[in-house]
Chains A and B, each alone.
Chain A
Amino acid sequence: MGEHVIKLPDVGEGVAEAELVEWHVKVGDLVREDMVLAAVMTDKATVEIPSPVDGEILWLGAEIGDTVAIGSPIVRLKVAGEGNVKAGGGDAPKAEAPAKSAEPKAEAQPSTPKPAPKPANPPARVSPAVAPQAARPAPVSGAPRAEGEKPLASPAVRLRAKEAGIDLRQVPGSGPAGRISHEDIDAFVARGPQLTRATGLARKDGVEDIKVVGLRRKIAEKMSLAKSRIPHITYVEEIDVTSLEELRATLNKDKRGDRPKLTLLPFLMRAMVKAIAEQPNLNALFDDEAGIIHQHEGIHIGIAAQTPNGLVVPVVKHAEARDLWDSAVEVNRLADAAKAGTASREELSGSTITITSLGAMGGVATTPVINYPEVAIVGVNKIMVRPVWDGTQFIPRKMMNLSSSFDHRVIDGWDAAVFVQRIKALLETPALIFVD
Chain B
Amino acid sequence: MKEISCKLLVIGAGPGGYVCAIRAGQLGIDTVIVEAGKPGGTCLNVGCIPSKALIHAAEEFEKIAHLAGGKDPLGIKVAAPTLELAKTVAWKDSIVSRLNSGVAGLLKKAKVKTVQGWATFRDGKTVEVETETGTQVIRAETVVIATGSAPVELPFLPFGGPVISSTEALALGEVPKKLAVVGGGYIGLELGMAFAKMGAKVTVVEALPRVLSQYDAELTRPVLKRLGELGVEVMTGAKAKGLSTQGQAGKGDALLVETSDGKSAKVAADKILVTVGRKPLTEGWGLEQIDLDKAGKFIRIDDQCRTSMRGIYAIGDVTGEPMLAHRAMAQGEMVAEIVAGHKRSWDKRAIPAICFTDPELVTAGLSPDEAKALAGEIKIGQFPFAANGRAMTKQGEDGFVRVVARADNHLVLGIQAVGQGVSELSAAFGLALEMGARLEDIAGTIHAHPTQGEGFQEAVLKALGHALHV
Residues of A within 8 A of B (CB): 143, 150, 152-155, 158, 162-163, 165, 175-179
Contact = CB atoms under 8 A, between A and B. Distances in A.
B379 to A, nearest CB: 13
Nearest to B375: A149
A158 B435 CA distance: 10
Contacts of B342: 163
Given A150-B349, A162-B345, A143 B409 contact: yes
Given A152-B411, A154-B436, A177 B406 contact: yes
Which interface residue of B342, B349, B410 has the most chain A CB atoms within 10 A?
B349
Given A143-B409, A152-B411, A177 B438 contact: yes
Interface in B340-376: 342-345, 347, 349
B201 to A, nearest CB: 47
A162 B410 contact: no
A177 B343 contact: no
B347 A158 contact: yes
Contacts, number: 33
Interface in B403-422: 406, 409-411
A155 B436 CA distance: 9
B434 interface: yes
A162 B347 contact: yes
A154 B410 contact: no
Interface residues of B, number: 16
Contacts of B406: 177
How would you classify the secondary structure of chain B's contact residues: helix, strand, loop or mixed? loop
A179 B343 contact: no
A176 B438 contact: yes
Sorted from nearest, which 5 A-B pairs have the closest CB atoms? Answer: A177-B409, A177-B411, A152-B436, A179-B436, A154-B435
Nearest to B348: A155
B436 A153 contact: yes
A153 to B, nearest CB: 6
Interface of B: 342-345, 347, 349, 406, 409-411, 434-436, 438, 440-441
Contacts of A175: 436
A85 B344 CA distance: 71
Contacts of B438: 176-177
B304 to A, nearest CB: 11
B347 A177 contact: no
Nearest to A156: B435
Contacts of A154: 434-436
Contacts of B409: 143, 176-178
Given A162-B344, A162-B347, 20 more contacts: A143-B409, A152-B436, A154-B435, A154-B436, A155-B434, A155-B435, A158-B347, A162-B343, A162-B345, A175-B436, A176-B409, A176-B410, A176-B440, A176-B441, A177-B406, A177-B409, A177-B410, A177-B436, A178-B409, A179-B436
Contacts of A150: 349
Contacts of A176: 409-410, 438, 440-441
A165 B434 contact: no
Nearest to B344: A162
A150 B434 CA distance: 12
21 contacts: A152-B411, A152-B436, A153-B436, A154-B435, A154-B436, A155-B347, A155-B435, A158-B347, A162-B343, A162-B345, A162-B347, A163-B342, A165-B343, A175-B436, A176-B410, A176-B438, A177-B410, A177-B411, A177-B436, A178-B409, A179-B436
Contacts of B343: 162-163, 165
A177 B347 CA distance: 18
A177 B410 CA distance: 7
A143 B344 CA distance: 26
B349 to A, nearest CB: 7
B366 to A, nearest CB: 12
Which interface residue of A143, A150, A153, A177 has the most chain B CB atoms within 10 A?
A177
Nearest to B436: A152
Contacts of A158: 347
A127 to B, nearest CB: 29
Which interface residue of B409, B436, B440, B441 has the most chain A CB atoms within 10 A?
B436
A148 to B, nearest CB: 10
B449 to A, nearest CB: 26
Contacts of B440: 176
Nearest to B345: A162
Nearest to A173: B436
A152 B410 CA distance: 13
Contacts of A165: 343
